[in-house]
Amino acid sequence: MRTIVVIPTYNELENLPEIVARLRASVPSAHVLVVDDDSPDGTGDLADGLARRDSAVHVLHRTDKQGLGAAYRAGFAWALSGGYEVVVEMDADGSHRPEELPRLLDSLADADVAVGSRWVPGGRVIDWPLRRELLSRGGSLYARIALGLGQRDVTGGYRAYRASALIAAEYDTVESQGYCFQIEMLWRCVDAAQHIAEVPITFAERVHGTSKMSSRIVVEAMLRVSVWAITPLSPRRRSAVVTTPTGRVGVL
The tens digit of pLDDT for each residue in 44-61 reads 999 999 999 999 999 999
Please give the residue that has the higher pLDDT: either 222 or 88: 88
| pLDDT(245) > 50 | no
| pLDDT(205) > 90 | no
Pairwise CA distance, residues 99 & 24, whole Å: 10
pLDDT score of 37: 95
Pairwise CA distance, residues 185 & 182, whole Å: 5
Half-sphere exposure of 140 (CA within 13 A, CB side): 17
For the segment 139-183, what is each residue's pLDDT rounded down to a tens digit?
Answer: 888 889 999 999 999 999 999 999 999 999 999 999 888 778 999
